Amino acid sequence: MSTPNQRPVSPPNLALSRPGARLAIVKGQDRSRWTDFYHLILTVTWLEFFGGLFAFFVGLNLIFVALYLADPAVLAHSRHSGFWDVFLFSFQTIASIDYTGFAPQSTYSNIVVAIQGFFSILTTALFTGVMFARFSRPFARIVFSRCALVLPFDGVPTLMFRAANQRGNSIVDAEVRLTMARQQTSREGIVMRRFEDLKPFRARSSLFALSWTIMHRIDRHSPLYGMTAEKWREQQIEVVVMLSGLDEALADRIYARHSYSAEDIVWDHKFVDVISSHNGRRVVDLTRFHDTEPLCLEPDMRDA
């Protein structure tokens, strides 16, 4: 197998590895996507999540501030019933606290307080529910090697990459699926993205606890048979990895995905060994998890 010029390995695409991340920019979506708040809440980052809750809380208070200000004498024990006093009163009402001693002194303001109390209950239930939904959602902490290798293994060219569980516990009944996507043109000149399954050398692992080297033999039955680095780039080939299993601590099924494009493929290299033994226990060194080294091939294997 010929060895092309070595390309620098690109860093892992963290956005694609994150659960719920968008795989592409979609245009022409209907307006109903703006009503799918639950999915949005589960997929945004924690910073965006808390920022959205804070903005919602402030916005709700501002609505009631505007209602309170419609009554010139809305508050007792307030010198001016200005915006700041009314805002503090609204905040304390919806948060069920009382620090300043403000009190509604008209029928109108008491009605608004009753309505705000109802929304306070709804807000507390909403915040509690979405927080629980985010914390209780199972997610995987699977790390995939930054690059995938193509090298001879038992005399057959093999696509190879590895995965490890960063939690350090076991994933029961783990399963991996490989799909190849590439750009093809039909006889009629129609250009389309086509998908083909790649058969892993070992598709299931009854107990995934350490590092798992996932392999696909590029033989005559493989869609990758005869592929070179140039063909990988010309056909925009991408290998998509889906790994799932039962986390023994969470007692729930977790999923992880990753993808390798032509720029992530390294030829005729091998992974550095990351598994060792210390005091009778297995050790996985993730600091060298992505490291590779040139594979010393015999002349007959190099030209195979």
**pLDDT of amino acid 235:** 87
The stretches in the chain having pLDDT less than 50 are 1-17, 301-304
**pLDDT of amino acid 244:** 92
What is the tens place of the pLDDT at every residue in 172-225?
999 999 999 988 887 788 888 889 999 999 999 888 887 899 999 999 999 999
Burial class (CB in 10 A: 0-12, 13-18, 19+), 90: buried
- Please give the sequence-ordered ranges of beta strands (E in DSSP) within 11-147, or none if there are none: 75-76, 103-104, 142-144
**179 with 240: CB under 8 angstroms?**
yes
- Please list the alpha-helical segments (H only) found in 45-106: 46-68, 83-95
Among residues 218, 191, 266, the alpha carbon closest in space to that of 8 is found at 266
Helices 107-136 and 46-68, packing angle to 10 deg: 170
Q: Which residues pair with 153 in a beta bridge?
A: 156
**pLDDT of amino acid 252:** 85
Among residues 166, 147, 173, the alpha carbon closest in space to that of 266 is found at 147
Q: Round to whole Å and give the CA distance between 10 and 265.
A: 10
**pLDDT of amino acid 30:** 56
For the four alpha carbons of 116, 120, 122 and 126, in that order, the dihedral sign comes to: positive
Q: How many other C-beta atoms lie within 10 A of the C-beta of residue 88?
A: 17
What are the backbone angles phi and psi of residue 277, rounded to the nearest 5°? -130, 140
- Please give the sequence-ordered ranges of beta strands (E in DSSP) within 46-190, or none if there are none: 75-76, 103-104, 142-144, 148-153, 156-165, 171-185
96's CB contacts (< 8 A; 6+ apart) are 120
For the four alpha carbons of 173, 271, 15 and 136, in that order, the dihedral sign comes to: positive
**pLDDT of amino acid 35:** 62
Q: Which residues of 60-86 are buried (b: 16+ CB within 10 A; e: fewer)?
A: bbeebbebbeebeebbeebeebeeebb
Q: Torsion over CA of 74, 77, 81 and 83, rounded to 10 degrees? A: -110
Count CA within 13 A, CB hemisphere, residue 226. Answer: 3
What are the backbone angles phi and psi of residue 27, rounded to the nearest 5°? -105, 150
Domains of the chain: 31-136 (1.10.287.70), 140-302 (2.60.40.1400)
Q: Residue 77 carries which side chain, given as an amino acid letter?
A: H
